[in-house]
Structure 1
């Protein structure tokens, strides 16, 4: 089992943790998540289990991109991809700055909806990314039609810059600095 690289306790929701994706062990789970109708913006709907495993093996082999599985009290609940925008198509549509980190997040299907859960997933991901002192800004490029994630991004401090053409999608280029993220948290650690 890969070691946990980040943990965060969320009162009322449990211990949120991140560990590197293990392609062999996690491939079936990732396939279920990325091919589900609710994950249509991941553009993997028609991928076979082997294609999903190959995609995550490629990420695993890329020194500028990594994938992490998000656990809540030890149970897989979300997926995070972290990447260097300078080595990604998004880097061709905006001026990448030193300290920029790209991110994708996918929350797995919930057996029982939990109020505030998705926001805490995003807060955990952002806290993890900013835990690296070299990260100064997080950049995201969700599909323009993904209104749910636009609202989630705004909740944790993202500012929209522009609609950009990434070839496979029209994306809402947005970014969030450490200060913008921190401003969304009140002193007791809860959302503002």
Structure 2
């Protein structure tokens, strides 16, 4: 079941569907244990570990997971969560309409220029497609310079560094208006 679709002139049709922890476990395992996914912190996970983790996520009332497809082929992972209930509890002042997000592009033997930017743009458009979403909140590792640049490109503003148990994170937020402004700037 496709939940969201958008077309990127360079990449093609990007769509998002619900993640199935059992059917998608092997695929996810290949993605989250790949060296480029080091910030995902699952490098030593087994397929069973990945299946269990995503069963827990998809069964949680404040956490969802999705598979992103490009022209029908699985290509990226998306997690949506309520930052007032998970990840950032006690570390920031939540506002109504806040939605937390993680995303991971699957590894590719044939990189496409602009692919990751097309993915994060699609993820943000998907999240803002819900009228209840007022801000997207992220907390990437402070050392993840590549994702900080991508976040800035789609309108995120850094709030501050927060100390989480597993990492020091760069708390950043993006309002609907900031995202739309970033899209307009990219189109110009």
* Shared fold (TM-score, shorter chain, > 0.5): yes
Aligned to 2:142: 144
Aligned-partner Cα distance in 2 for 1:130–1:90 = 20
For these two proteins, the number of residue pairs brought into alignment is: 188
Q: What does 1:33-72 align with in structure 2 at a 5 Å threshold?
A: 33-72=31-70
Aligned to 1:11: 9
Aligned to 1:115: 113
Aligned to 1:182: 180
Cα deviation code 1:46-73 (max 9, x no counterpart): 1111011000000111121000000000
Cα offset, 1:191, TM superposition: 4.2
Cα deviation code 1:78-101 (max 9, x no counterpart): 000000001113121000111000
Distance verdict in 2 for CA 1:114–1:191, change over 3 Å: farther
The alignment's C-alpha RMSD in Å is 1.1
Aligned-partner Cα distance in 1 for 2:110–2:2 = 25
Aligned-partner Cα distance in 2 for 1:24–1:105 = 19
- Structure 1 residue runs of 5 or longer lacking an equivalent are none
Runs of 4+ in 1 over 6 A off after TM superposition: none
Q: What does 1:67-78 align with in structure 2 at a 5 Å threshold?
A: 67-78=65-76
SS of 2:103's equivalent?
strand
TM-score of the superposed pair, with normalisation by structure 1: 0.95
Aligned-partner Cα distance in 2 for 1:54–1:74 = 26
Q: Pick from 70, 92, 95 the counterpart of residue 93 of structure 2.
A: 95
